[in-house]
Amino acid sequence: MRPLPTPSLRAVALMTTLPLALATGCASTDGTGAAASTPTEASAPAEPTEVGASAPRLALTYDGGVQVVDATTLEVLADEPLDGFNRLNAAGDGRHFLVSTQGGFRLLDGGAWAEEHGDHDHYYTAEPQLTGELLPAEKPGHVVAHAGRTVLFDDGTGQITAFDSAAVADPDRETRDLRTPSAHHGVAVELGDGTMLVSEGTEDARTGVRLLDADGAELAASDDCPGVHGEAVAGEDTVVIGCEDGVLVVAGGGITKVASPDAYGRIGNQAGSAESPVVLGDYKSDPDAELERPTRVSLIDTTDASLRLVDLPSSYWYRSLGRGEDGEALVLGTDGALHVIDPVAGAVTRSIPVIGAWEESEDWQDPHPQLVVVEGTAYISEPATQSLHAVDVASGKVWKSASLTVTPNEVAGVSGDVEEHAEHEHTGDDEHVE
Amino acid sequence: MPAGRARRAASAGLLLCSLAGCAGGAAGADDGRLDVLVTSYPLQYVAEQVGGDDVVVTNLTPPGGDSHRLEPAPHEVAALSGADVVVHQSGGMQPAVDDVVAQEEPEHLVDAAPLADRGADPHFWLDPLRLAEFGRTVAGQLAAVDPDHGADYRARADRLDVTLRSIDGEYAEALAACRGATLLASHEAFGYLAERYGLRQMGVAGLDPYVEPPPSRLRKVADEVADSGARTIFFEATAGSAVAEVLAADLGLGTDVLHPVERVAAGETYPDLMADNLAALRRGLTCG
C-alpha cells in the first residue's frame, strides 16, 4: 500500500537523475535543498506517525458531514463537513472509505494503514481527511470490495468500474470498465479468478445476473432472479445474490438457484464471512407491505444450496446484518439486542442487550441504529442517544461505549491493516436508492 | 517532505545552478577527510567508530527519523552520488533509498545486506558479532579509498571488535541460563539476537503499547502465547499503564522495552541501548 497519495519522491528522484548534479549545486549552498519552495501545499498530509499495531477506524455520516472515529478508543479523530445524504463504504484497502455523494464516490482517508516490511508489518497513522479524490458517478451505488479488487456501480448509467483496492487513492489507477445494457440499481462483484458477476435489468425490472470473463464474454447467466439485489461472498469465492424468490449461488463458474419457501420470499441484503460457507440474509414475505418489519432471517448454505429461516425475538432492518470473526451470524434487533446466530445450527445462541428498543422509520434515510463488524468487535450506533457501542461478539460483552456530538446515520469500518485478500466482511448493502 | 516541494526544489535548481562541485553538499569535502554517507543509525555507528577523525559521516536518516520511510530529497540524492563512500543496507529496508542507490551507483558502496541473511529480517546489528564483521568490511573499503589511513581504519575496526565482543560476552553470560526461552516481541526485530543467544522469538501482533487492546485482540494474544512459558511482552516503547494493567490482569504478562536500535534519539548509542536491552531481557525472560 502506498503511504501517501502523492507522486513518489523516488520517482521524482529517478526522473531527474541526470539534471540533479546541476540541481543540487544550489541546494548545498543554503544547506537545506528546499529553499526554492515554501511549505504551503494546500493539502499536504501531516507526517505519518508510526504506531505499535494496526488501528481500525470507523466512519459515520451525520446531517452535514462525516466523522472518523478511532475504533479502539471511540474517540472522534476528524469531522469533515459534507452536505446532503451521504452513504459510506469501506474502500477495500483497509484504509479508505468511499462516500457515495453528489457527483460520485468521494475518497475519505481513515488515516491508518500498514506497510509490509519484510516478514512483518509496520503501522502508521495520520490525520483522517476527506481527500480531493472523486470517482465520478451519476448516481453512485454499490461498492463491493473482494479479493483485493474494488468494484463501483453507477446506478445512473450502469457503468461498472473495477480496480485494485490498494490503488484506490491513486488517481492513475488502472481500471476495468464495463457497462450494463441498461442502467439500473445494480451490483457487480469481481471474483478472485478475474471473472465479473454483474446484475442484469432495467430501471423498471431487475431480472438476473451474468458472469463475464476477463474480456467481457458471457460465461454463464441466469434470468431467474426477480428484483435482484445485494451480494455477499461465502468462504473464498462463492457469491450469493439476493432475489425476490430466493437467491442465486455463483460458484466455480456456475449459477444455482435456491428457492425461498414462499412464492414471495425476498432476500435483498446479505452478509458473508470468509470463515463460513453459510450466508446470512434478510427475509421478507409480504409482497404488499409498505414497510415490512421482518422477524426471520435466512441462512443460505452454499455447500448444498439449501436455505432455511431462523425466527428472531425481534424485528430488524436492512443494516442490521453482520458476521463475527468466527463466522457467527449477527443481527441487530429492534429490541436493542445483538442476536448471535450459529449459522450451522441455525439457532440464536445469545442475545446481547446493547441499546434501547427502536423502530424502523417510514423514511429509510432517517438515522437508524447500524451494525458494522471490525476484527470481531461489533460496533453499534444509537442515534436516539447519539452514542456508539463496541461489543465483543465472542464474550458478549459491551466493552466500550462513547457519546457522540452528532446523530449518526451510516457507519462503516476499516481495519487499518493490510487487507487479506480474503476480506468478505461486506454486507449486501441496501435495497434503497433514490 | 511533500513530493511537490521536492519537485519544485529540483526544477528551481535546474534553472539556477551549474555543475560546479557543490553536489557533495554533505560536508566540506576539501579538508582531506572522506565524506561517508550512511543511510541508517547502525551503519552510522560503525562508520563513525571505524572512520574516526579521518571521515565525516552524514546520516540520511535524521536522529529519530523513520529510516524505512526515508525518501531522499534531491539534494540528498546528489549527496549519495557525491560521497566518497556510501554505506547502505539494501534489500528493502529502505526501498526508496535502494532505488536511488541503484540508480546513482556510488563509486564506493559498502552494502550491509549480505550480513542480513535471515530472510526478510534486516536487523542484523542486534547480533554484535555480525556488526563486528561489518566493521571489518567498512574498514577494508575505507582503506581502499583512502590507503594513507588504511592502518588507522583497521586499528579502529579492531577496537570496535573488542567493544562488540565485550557486549557479546555479557549477553552470552547473562543469557546462558535462558536458552530456549521465548522472547515475545511486539515488533519482530530480534531474530538475529535470538539466534545468537539461543532464544525463540515469537511475534505478538496487534498490541500498541499506548492503546488498550480490545478483547478480541487480547484473546488472540492469549491463544498465541499459551504454552510459550513467556511472562513478558517486549515493546519498543514503555507501555502505558492501562495497557500494562490489562495485559497483567487478563494474560498474566508483564511488559518491558527492547530497543531495535534502528532509529535512535540524540544521545542514544548502540552500546548503551544494547546494555539496556540486556537488562530488560534479564528482567523479563523466563530463565532456568
What pLDDT digit, counting tens, does each position of B113-131 carry? Answer: 999 998 888 999 999 999 9
Give the gap in angstroms from C-alpha B170 to the nearest C-alpha of chain A: 29
Residues in A closer than 8 angstroms to B22, CB to CB, are 24-29
Write the DSSP string, A198-247.
EEEE-SS-EEEEEEE-TTS-EEEEE---TT-EEEEEETTTEEEEEETTEE
> A43: pLDDT confidence band, cut at 50, 70 and 90?
very low
Residues in A closer than 8 angstroms to B82, CB to CB, are 24
Within 21-60 of B, beta carbons closer than 8 Å to A belong to 22-25
How is residue A355 written as a grid cell?
Answer: 441499546
**Euclidean distance between CA atoms A234 and A191, whole angstroms:** 12
Q: Which of B134, B125, B141, B70 is nearest to B101 (CA)?
A: B70
> A119: pLDDT confidence band, cut at 50, 70 and 90?
low
CB A379 within 8 A of CB A411: yes
List the single residue in B with minimal CA-CA distance to A119: B120
Comparing CB atoms, the residue among B188, B207, B217 nearest residue A119 is B188
pTM attached to this predicted model: 0.81
Query: CA B28 → CA A307, B57, B84, distances in Å?
Result: 78, 11, 12
CB of A172 less than 8 A from some CB of B: no
pLDDT tens sequence across A152-203: 999 999 999 999 999 999 999 999 999 999 999 999 999 999 999 999 999 8
Half-sphere exposure of A86 (CA within 13 A, CB side): 32
CA B211 to chain centroid, in Å, comes to 25
pLDDT at A17 over 80: no
Are the Cβ atoms of B9 and A23 closer than 8 angstroms? yes
CB A134 within 8 A of CB A145: no
SS3 A85: coil
pLDDT tens sequence across A159-169: 999 999 999 99
Are the Cβ atoms of A21 and B81 closer than 8 angstroms? yes
Burial zone of A396 (CB within 10 Å; 0-12 exposed, 13-18 middle, 19+ buried): middle
**pLDDT for position A48:** 87
CB of A42 less than 8 A from some CB of B: no
User: Across chain B, how many H-helices and E-strands are there?
Assistant: 10, 8
Are the Cβ atoms of A52 and B25 closer than 8 angstroms? no
Residues in B closer than 8 angstroms to A375, CB to CB, are 214, 216-217
Give the gap in angstroms from C-alpha A338 to the nearest C-alpha of chain B: 17
Half-sphere exposure of B131 (CA within 13 A, CB side): 33
**pLDDT for position A118:** 65
Within 77-136 of B, beta carbons closer than 8 Å to A belong to 77-79, 81-82, 92-93, 95-96, 99-100, 103-104, 119-122
Comparing CB atoms, the residue among B22, B104, B215 nearest residue A397 is B215
Are the Cβ atoms of A31 and B219 closer than 8 angstroms? no
- Which value, to the nearest 10 degrees, does the dihedral of the CA atoms of residues B277, B279, B285, B288 take? 130
**pLDDT, mean over chain A:** 87
**Euclidean distance between CA atoms A414 and A371, whole angstroms:** 13
How many interface pairs between A and B have CB atoms less than 8 angstroms apart? 224
CA B227 to chain centroid, in Å, comes to 31
pLDDT tens sequence across A289-312: 989 999 999 999 999 999 999 999
Comparing CB atoms, the residue among A4, A14, A52 nearest residue B103 is A14
Within 136-165 of B, beta carbons closer than 8 Å to A belong to none
Whether the complex's predicted ipTM surpasses the cut of 0.85? no
* A49 phi and psi angles, rounded to 5 deg: -110, 135
Half-sphere exposure of B49 (CA within 13 A, CB side): 24
**Euclidean distance between CA atoms B140 and B146, whole angstroms:** 10
Non-local (6+) Cβ contacts of B253 within 8 A are B184, B225, B230, B231, B232, B233, B247
Are the Cβ atoms of B69 and A48 closer than 8 angstroms? yes
Average pLDDT over residues A227-243: 95
**Euclidean distance between CA atoms A256 and A421, whole angstroms:** 25
CB B265 within 8 A of CB B64: yes
pLDDT tens sequence across A65-108: 999 999 999 999 999 999 999 999 999 999 999 999 999 999 99
CB of B195 less than 8 A from some CB of A: no
Give the gap in angstroms from C-alpha A416 to the nearest C-alpha of chain B: 11
Average pLDDT over residues A220-241: 95
**pLDDT for position B20:** 31
CB of B212 less than 8 A from some CB of A: yes
Q: What is the DSSP secondary structure assignment for residue A297, as one 8-state letter?
A: E
Are the Cβ atoms of B9 and A37 closer than 8 angstroms? yes
Are the Cβ atoms of A24 and B210 closer than 8 angstroms? no
Q: Where are the beta strands (DSSP E) in A260-359?
A: 270-273, 276-282, 296-301, 306-311, 321-323, 329-332, 337-342, 347-353
Each residue's pLDDT expressed in tens, for chain B with a length of 288 residues = 333 333 333 333 332 332 333 333 444 456 889 999 999 999 999 999 999 999 999 998 887 777 776 778 888 888 888 899 999 999 888 888 898 888 888 889 999 999 999 888 899 999 999 999 999 999 999 999 999 999 999 999 999 999 999 999 999 999 999 999 999 999 889 999 999 999 999 988 889 999 999 999 999 899 989 889 999 999 998 889 999 999 999 999 999 999 999 989 989 999 999 999 999 999 999 998
Give the gap in angstroms from C-alpha B120 to the nearest C-alpha of chain A: 4
Give the gap in angstroms from C-alpha A24 to the nearest C-alpha of chain B: 5
Place of cell 462525516: A66
**pLDDT for position B119:** 81
Give the range among A134-143, A340-349, A369-378, B62-71 with minimum mean pLDDT: B62-71
- Which value, to the nearest 10 degrees, does the dihedral of the CA atoms of residues A385, A391, A395, A396 take? 40
List the single residue in A with minimal CA-CA distance to B208: A52
Non-local (6+) Cβ contacts of A41 within 8 A are B2, B4, B5
pLDDT at A139 over 60: yes
pLDDT at A34 over 80: no
Ramachandran sector of residue A373 (left: φ over 0; alpha: ψ -120 to 50; beta: rest): beta
Within 231-250 of B, beta carbons closer than 8 Å to A belong to 235-237
Ramachandran sector of residue B206 (left: φ over 0; alpha: ψ -120 to 50; beta: rest): left
Instruction: List the domains of chain B with CATH numbers.
Output: 23-171 (3.40.50.1980), 177-284 (3.40.50.1980)
List the single residue in B with minimal CA-CA distance to A8: B3
Considering only residues A136 and B62, tell me which one the structure prediction assigns the higher pLDDT: A136
How is residue A42 written as a grid cell?
Answer: 494546500
CB B156 within 8 A of CB B57: no
How is residue B133 written as a grid cell?
Answer: 564483521
Are the Cβ atoms of A33 and B73 closer than 8 angstroms? yes
pLDDT tens sequence across A364-393: 999 999 999 999 999 999 999 999 999 999
Non-local (6+) Cβ contacts of A188 within 8 A are A142, A144, A151, A153, A160, A162, A178, A196, A197, A198, A199
**pLDDT for position A349:** 97
Residues in B closer than 8 angstroms to A12, CB to CB, are 3, 6-7, 10, 74
CB of B217 less than 8 A from some CB of A: yes
Residue A180 identity: T
**pLDDT for position A418:** 86
Average pLDDT over residues A115-138: 89
pLDDT tens sequence across A258-301: 999 999 999 999 999 999 999 999 999 999 998 999 999 999 99
Residues in B closer than 8 angstroms to A118, CB to CB, are 92-93, 119-122
**Euclidean distance between CA atoms A21 and A10, whole angstroms:** 16
**Euclidean distance between CA atoms A149 and A191, whole angstroms:** 8
**Which of B216, B224, B257 is most worth mutating to test chain A (most A CB atoms within 10 A of its CB)?**
B216
Give the gap in angstroms from C-alpha A329 to the nearest C-alpha of chain B: 17
Residues in B closer than 8 angstroms to A4, CB to CB, are 3
Residues in B closer than 8 angstroms to A29, CB to CB, are 22
CB of B75 less than 8 A from some CB of A: yes
Q: Which of A184, A294, A200 is nearest to A248 (CA)?
A: A200
**Euclidean distance between CA atoms A356 and B88, whole angstroms:** 60
